[in-house]
Structure 1
Amino acid sequence: MARDAGFRTTLPVSGRRVLVVGGGSTALGRIAALRDAGAEITVIAPEVVQSVQDLAERGLLRWDSRAYDTADVSDHDLVVPATGDPGLDARVAGDAQAFGRWCTVPDAVPGPGSDTGSDTDATRPRAGGGSVTLVGGGPGDPGLITVAGLEAVRTADVVVTDRLAPLGVLHGLDVEVIDVGKIPRGRSTPQEAINRILVEHARAGRRVVRLKGGDSFVFGRGGEEMEACTAAGIPVVVVPGVTSAIAGPALAGIPVTHRGLTQGFTVVSGHVPPGDPRSTVDWGALARTGTDIVLLMAVATLPAITQTFVAEGLDPATPAVTIADAALPTQRVVRGDVATIASRVAEAGIGAPAVTIVGRVAGFAPSV
């Protein structure tokens, strides 16, 4: 057996076959910690939260949508009981022992983040009322969340999290986790429902952390959440995060500004393409700014965007780079130019999340 809070650092899980039994909020932090450590993860659970489903759809783990069976433990190096049901978790641990497999043991009885919904101190109202802290978690690696953001998560009663947040920081915490991840063209929690969750838990006297990837105010709808909480009379604290618009290129060795190459950069959302009536971007003017262009949420629309750039006068040979899964073990970098980057991204099978940077710095190579 291995203590649950320590397996990420004390057991060599990189490349190992790890079975996680359970796919609810109880399992979320453990799954993320295993992913960050490079484990080959199989999740067995009839249902999973949205962030776990997203990891499965991105090929970062295997999800077997069914009930647990004793024989499941035999083909794995490490077994992680994480159903939130003490009886079932104990059964899984016992089966692991019987098969001679390493198995983590929860450090405490399931808390408010478990699927059983136990009532513990974290769910009870606190004197002085509740609050909401909007935490930008950075590009995804738990090591890149700020000190203030990590402290907020560790002292929270409730964490309302997104699929791109650094979910590994949740591992080992006795906190209620509510997954409201939005899967592109898939399961999604409406923003109005998220706002309501924040307000309701804060009104119940709890310390609520809204944990996002990147920065809450850079295409993260943090402003809307602040408005909703303020209108309800809920105190709000903002902890900025490292936006992927800068972190993604940096992690690929690309500075978004560099003397002699550019005097600025422009960050835009590619959620809707040029010509779409919902788009408010002047793509032609953007192509002529002379600054580097950072595109977020633009995997599906990259062909239309790059074609528009060329049509509006941007040199087709302008360097371009796409960085997928920045800061994670699965990070991938695809290089090209404005004329070829969209096709190369498609050929590489790149999916969201990804950042594309267009401009002279995309061809940056440090001198030696």
Structure 2
Amino acid sequence: MSNSKGLLTVIGAGPGDPDLITLKAIKALQTADVVLYDALVNPELLQYAEQAELIFVGKRKGCYAYQQEQINELIVQRGQSQHVVRLKGGDPFIFGRGAEEMEFAAKHGLNVAMVPGISSSVAVPASQNIPVTKRGAAESFWVITGTTKEHKLSSDVALAAKSNATVVILMGMSKLSAIVALFEKEGKSETPIAIIQNGTREDEKIGIATISTIKKEVEKQQLTNPAIIIIGEVVKHREALSSAINTYKQVDEVNG
């Protein structure tokens, strides 16, 4: 990234906690002339781009500041003579459209670079002591978008529901009823499920239930987007760990 002019750098901002951005990402922000940032990016990260022009290009509740085509054009327009940083939540190559923007920029003569980010798909469950794999519980995991380009539930969810793998669904809250129905169809009504809203942020909320009871828990906790859905036996690890910690504290108190 030494040639800062005529350059697009796509950066993963991590899942939300500003401490979870990488050092390489911070260094790139410090050399940026323009930063185009999304709605899921923690605003605290913008302090690293003190000299840059900051442009919000994300969306909130379905309202787009810029359409994707406009973002692409903006990247090329500014990137002809400046270092443009495209700051995206999580990892830009996991349902982040980072690859599309890089391809567009490269076709229009820009140099391109990518700085990976910590993906919310594994970091958010981990922040709540839920591993996506665990010996004896899950040998693999699926990461699936809940909403496709056509605004439908991904057909891969039905395939994942047939497996013993952990299933992590991003952008799936609007399709929760359909997701529940698919798992119930496979006889998995008692399978544990967790929904984590605003993962790793100060306003984080979490609901733990089973497939059959999760909709009531969502209503009780008033959970909504942005949220991550985790389905599988690994969800039980959080409760087991909490019990172990509490037991240790009680024994420690008794022993003085």
Deviation at 1:299, TM superposition (A): 1.3
The answer to whether the Cα contact below 8 Å between 1:157 and 1:207 also exists between their aligned partners in 2 is yes
Residue 213 (structure 2) pairs with residue 340 (structure 1)? yes
- Residues 195-344 of structure 1 mapped to structure 2, 5 A cutoff: 195-203=72-80, 205-271=81-147, 278-311=152-185, 313-344=186-217
1:362 counterpart (235, 238, 244) = 235
Identity rate, percent: 36
Matches of 2:34 and 2:16 in 1, distance apart?
20
The answer to whether the Cα contact below 8 Å between 2:56 and 2:65 also exists between their aligned partners in 1 is no
Give the direction of change, closer, same or farther, for the CA distance of 1:302–1:287 in structure 2 (3 Å limit): same
Unpaired runs of 5+ residues, structure 1, are: 1-126
Give the direction of change, closer, same or farther, for the CA distance of 1:277–1:155 in structure 2 (3 Å limit): closer
Structure 2 counterpart of 1:16: none
Matches of 1:357 and 1:232 in 2, distance apart?
39
2:77 partner letter: E
TM-score by length of 1: 0.62
Matches of 1:148 and 1:166 in 2, distance apart?
17
The answer to whether the Cα contact below 8 Å between 1:322 and 1:357 also exists between their aligned partners in 2 is yes
Question: Is the partner of 2:174 in helix, strand or coil?
Answer: coil
The answer to whether the Cα contact below 8 Å between 2:91 and 2:117 also exists between their aligned partners in 1 is yes
Of residues 326-335 and 302-311 in structure 1, the stretch that sits farther from structure 2 once superposed is 302-311
Give the direction of change, closer, same or farther, for the CA distance of 1:140–1:282 in structure 2 (3 Å limit): closer
Matches of 2:222 and 2:229 in 1, distance apart?
15
Matches of 1:277 and 1:235 in 2, distance apart?
33
Structure 2 counterpart of 1:138: 14
Q: Summarize deviations over 1:28-79 as a string: whole Å, max 9, x none.
A: xxxxxxxxxxxxxxxxxxxxxxxxxxxxxxxxxxxxxxxxxxxxxxxxxxxx
Structure 2 counterpart of 1:185: 62
Question: Is the partner of 2:64 in helix, strand or coil?
Answer: coil
Give the direction of change, closer, same or farther, for the CA distance of 1:211–1:277 in structure 2 (3 Å limit): closer
Unpaired runs of 5+ residues, structure 2, are: 246-256
TM-score by length of 2: 0.87
- Residues 83-232 of structure 1 mapped to structure 2, 5 A cutoff: 129-171=5-47, 173-203=50-80, 205-232=81-108
The answer to whether the Cα contact below 8 Å between 1:140 and 1:213 also exists between their aligned partners in 2 is yes
